[in-house]
């Protein structure tokens, strides 16, 4: 492994401090490094691999698509993109889909929709977007401008940055930041990277009302909390609050790089031909994956499964939070959970890896649990056993 890691540091731009393992393959909810060591995966490639590794039906669908055609460009129609878009529209009750290659690009597109929506009303070129503190929306200039994390923004925020930040779950704070230039409010129904913070129902309900009153767009970033992660296909379903624009990615393609932004009736028509584009976005390989993902979620009754195993994980993490003073708080829903400690969790993550369990963090002091959605209760027990041992060592 050392040889590979040395080579990686030699050739890959150093923007990550990577964990010291080289992953090689996966099987179900387990990963294997190049030495053949097995790891129980509670990260799923950062909430991506919902179906676990090596789902035969999924792999076969991709292999078949590779043999047919991988790429066509958006100058032509292709069947997988049409079918995938139909599934997204029917499952959201929204109107239209634009496919991207990543979550960041889905956010970029959503922001453009909001700006254009305002522009179409009165030709205004002045825009402000209200975003939340501790949010995460991506690393491009636009997505970064609405990411409420000083560490990520430092040195990179564009000069014409139009974002104004409010406190998550503080409706009065959001209201106080609205001006005549506000064109959108963007938030994650469950903040992921920021530390796993689910929104309060009153907050999202209040945002919906506010955006309707002001005729501005409500953008939900469901890149991490969408695609069944919370136990409903989309997190906002649990709140009974619908966005005008929604961003999806991560588990949307279950491993194939793909994202999407979805618009409702109100936001549809903001962008017209020529306003937005992408070479790869919605290519047949990526959208064949999306289409298969939607089919498999149904076939496997995955949402029911997430509710059941999610409730079990919830109970087990609650028990740890009650038992150990080092655990400050447990937050989460479905199969996205965070355990906040009174100290940084980096060492615990490294030790867990040595013992064959993969965790990631969400902020310095919070362990994040975003396993493949096919995880079973016995895997939760296996993980809890290792985790409890590590908490006792603190």
Question: How many CB atoms within 10 Å of residue 10?
Answer: 7
| Least gap, CB of 388 to ligand PLP (angstroms) | 28
With CB under 6 A as the contact rule, which of the stretches 26-34, 68-76, 179-187, 218-226 interacts with ligand PLP?
Answer: 218-226
With CB under 6 A as the contact rule, which of the stretches 30-38, 60-68, 132-140, 300-308 interacts with ligand PLP?
Answer: 132-140
| Least gap, CB of 298 to ligand PLP (angstroms) | 24
Nearer to ligand PLP, 137 or 292 (CB): 137
How many angstroms separate the CA atoms of 280 and 207, rounded? 34
* 103 contributes a contact to ligand PLP by CB under 6 A: yes
How many angstroms separate the CA atoms of 260 and 373, rounded? 20
Q: What angle do CA 133, 138, 140 make, to 5 degrees?
A: 115
How many angstroms separate the CA atoms of 374 and 384, rounded? 17
With CB under 6 A as the contact rule, which of the stretches 35-43, 113-121, 172-180, 217-225 interacts with ligand PLP?
Answer: 217-225
With CB under 6 A as the contact rule, which of the stretches 53-61, 165-173, 219-227, 371-379 interacts with ligand PLP?
Answer: 219-227
Contact 88, 262 (CB under 8 A): yes
Contact 256, 65 (CB under 8 A): no
Q: What angle do CA 57, 62, 66 make, to 5 degrees?
A: 150
Binding mask 23-62 for ligand PLP (x = CB under 6 A): ----------------------------------------
Burial environment of residue 247 by CB neighbours within 10 A (0 to 12, 13 to 18, 19 or more): buried
* 108 contributes a contact to ligand PLP by CB under 6 A: no
* 189 contributes a contact to ligand PLP by CB under 6 A: no
Binding mask 225-254 for ligand PLP (x = CB under 6 A): ------------------------xx----
DSSP string, 313-328: HHHHHHHHHHH-TTEE
With CB under 6 A as the contact rule, which of the stretches 114-122, 221-229, 303-311, 360-368 interacts with ligand PLP?
Answer: 221-229
With CB under 6 A as the contact rule, which of the stretches 99-107, 205-213, 238-246, 317-325 interacts with ligand PLP?
Answer: 99-107
Q: Which residue is nearest to ligand PLP (CB)?
A: 103
* 127 contributes a contact to ligand PLP by CB under 6 A: no
Residue of 41, 108, 128, 188 interacting with ligand PLP (CB under 6 A):
188
Residue of 45, 80, 138, 338 interacting with ligand PLP (CB under 6 A):
138
The widest CA-to-CA distance across the chain, in whole angstroms, is: 62
* 223 contributes a contact to ligand PLP by CB under 6 A: yes
Which residue in 11, 46, 44, 6 sits closest to 28, CA to CA?
Answer: 44
Contact 255, 233 (CB under 8 A): no
Nearer to ligand PLP, 30 or 239 (CB): 239
Q: In what order do the strands lie in the sheet with 23-27?
A: 23-27, 30-33, 38-41, 357-358
| CA-derived radius of gyration, the chain | 21
* 340 contributes a contact to ligand PLP by CB under 6 A: no
And the tokens for 138? 């991506």
Residue of 55, 92, 104, 264 interacting with ligand PLP (CB under 6 A):
104
Nearer to ligand PLP, 115 or 250 (CB): 250
Residue of 117, 136, 165, 359 interacting with ligand PLP (CB under 6 A):
136
Non-local (6+) Cβ contacts of 21 within 8 A are 1, 33, 37, 39, 353
Nearer to ligand PLP, 48 or 270 (CB): 48
| Least gap, CB of 192 to ligand PLP (angstroms) | 4
Contact 166, 173 (CB under 8 A): yes
Residue of 193, 237, 244, 314 interacting with ligand PLP (CB under 6 A):
193
Burial environment of residue 207 by CB neighbours within 10 A (0 to 12, 13 to 18, 19 or more): buried
Residue of 65, 102, 145, 232 interacting with ligand PLP (CB under 6 A):
102
Number of residues in contact with ligand PLP under rule CB under 6 A: 16
How many angstroms separate the CA atoms of 148 and 167, rounded? 10
Can you give the binding site for ligand PLP, defined by CB under 6 A?
Answer: 102-104, 107, 136-138, 188, 192-193, 221, 223-224, 249-250, 259
């Amino acid at each position: 492994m050392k040889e590979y890691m040395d080579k990686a540091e030699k050739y890959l731009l150093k923007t990550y401090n990577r964990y010291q393992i080289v992953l090689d393959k996966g099987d179900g909810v387990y990963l294997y490094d190049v030495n053949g060591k097995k790891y129980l995966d509670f990260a799923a490639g950062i909430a991506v691999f919902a179906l676990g590794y090596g789902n035969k039906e999924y792999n076969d669908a991709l292999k078949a698509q590779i043999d047919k055609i991988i790429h066509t460009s958006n100058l032509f129609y292709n069947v997988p993109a049409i079918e995938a878009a139909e599934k997204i529209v029917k499952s959201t009750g929204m109107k239209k889909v634009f496919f991207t290659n990543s979550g960041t690009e889905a956010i970029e597109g959503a922001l453009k929709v909001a700006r254009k929506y305002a522009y179409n009303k009165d030709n205004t070129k002045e825009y402000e977007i209200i975003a939340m503190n501790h949010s995460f929306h991506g690393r491009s200039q636009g997505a970064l401008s609405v990411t409420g994390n000083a560490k990520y923004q430092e040195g990179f925020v564009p000069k014409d940055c139009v974002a104004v930040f409010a406190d998550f779950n503080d409706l009065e704070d959001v209201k106080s930041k609205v001006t005549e230039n506000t064109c959108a409010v963007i938030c994650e129904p469950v903040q992921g990277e920021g530390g796993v913070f689910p929104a309060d129902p009153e907050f999202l309900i209040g945002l919906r009302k506010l955006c309707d009153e002001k005729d501005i767009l409500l953008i939900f970033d469901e890149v991490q909390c969408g695609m069944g992660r919370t136990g409903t296909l989309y997190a906002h379903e649990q709140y009974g609050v619908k966005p005008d624009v929604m961003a999806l990615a991560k588990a949307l393609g279950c491993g194939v790089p793909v994202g999407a932004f979805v618009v409702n009736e109100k936001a549809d028509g903001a962008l017209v031909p020529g306003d937005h584009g992408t070479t790869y976005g919605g290519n047949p390989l990526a959208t064949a994956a999306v289409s298969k993902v939607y089919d498999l979620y149904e076939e496997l009754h995955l949402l029911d499964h997430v509710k059941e195993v999610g409730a079990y994980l919830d109970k087990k993490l609650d028990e740890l939070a009650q038992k150990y003073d080092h655990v400050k708080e447990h937050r989460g829903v479905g199969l996205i959970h965070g355990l906040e400690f009174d100290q940084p969790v980096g060492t615990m993550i490294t030790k867990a890896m040595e013992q064959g369990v993969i965790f990631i963090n969400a902020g310095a002091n919070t362990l994040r649990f975003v396993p493949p959605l096919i995880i079973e209760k016995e895997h939760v027990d296996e993980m809890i056993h290792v985790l409890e041992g590590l908490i006792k060592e603190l």
